């Protein structure tokens, strides 16, 4: 069966520090991968999605970036965090063909101080 792992679960970072959130999927190949962010009390915002290795589509211009170095690995990064980067970050995957059903990870809660 397929599983999705996301880490770290919680982190507190100072403004201006770098960020790296990692997501891996097991039990499938060539998945579509997604990063979403949810600010406190707000809806989910699609940040990035990828349909293959090295293919990244950005939805919102910001100081975040994403990379997909391996088929089932998706990384969200920042060189310098802003206060507004605080939020709940969710990684998700779906099959590359067939129904567009997303399965989400447990999320990473980031607090920037």
Please report, as ranges, the residues that interact with another protein according to CB under 8 A: 32, 34, 36, 43-44, 46, 49, 51, 59, 88, 90, 92, 94, 99-107
Shortest distance (Å) from residue 67 CB to another protein: 18
3-class SS of residue 101: coil
Give the residue among 92, 99, 95 at the shortest CA–CA distance from 23: 92
Q: Closest distance between another protein and the C-beta of residue 100, in Å?
A: 5
Specify the residue, 10 or 16, whose C-beta has the smaller distance to another protein.
10
Instruction: Classify residue 87 as left (phi > 0), alpha (psi -120 to 50) or beta.
Output: left
């Amino acid at each position: 069966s397929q599983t999705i792992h996301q880490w770290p679960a919680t982190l507190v970072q100072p403004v201006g520090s770098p960020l790296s959130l990692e997501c891996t999927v097991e039990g499938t190949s060539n998945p579509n991968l997604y990063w979403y962010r949810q600010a406190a009390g707000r809806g989910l915002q699609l940040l990035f999605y990828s349909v293959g290795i090295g293919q990244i589509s950005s939805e919102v211009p910001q100081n975040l970036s994403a990379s997909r170095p391996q088929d089932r690995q998706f990384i969200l990064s920042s060189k310098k965090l802003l206060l507004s980067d605080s939020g709940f970050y969710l990684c998700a995957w779906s099959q590359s063909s067939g129904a567009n059903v997303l399965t989400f990870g447990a999320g990473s809660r980031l607090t920037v101080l």
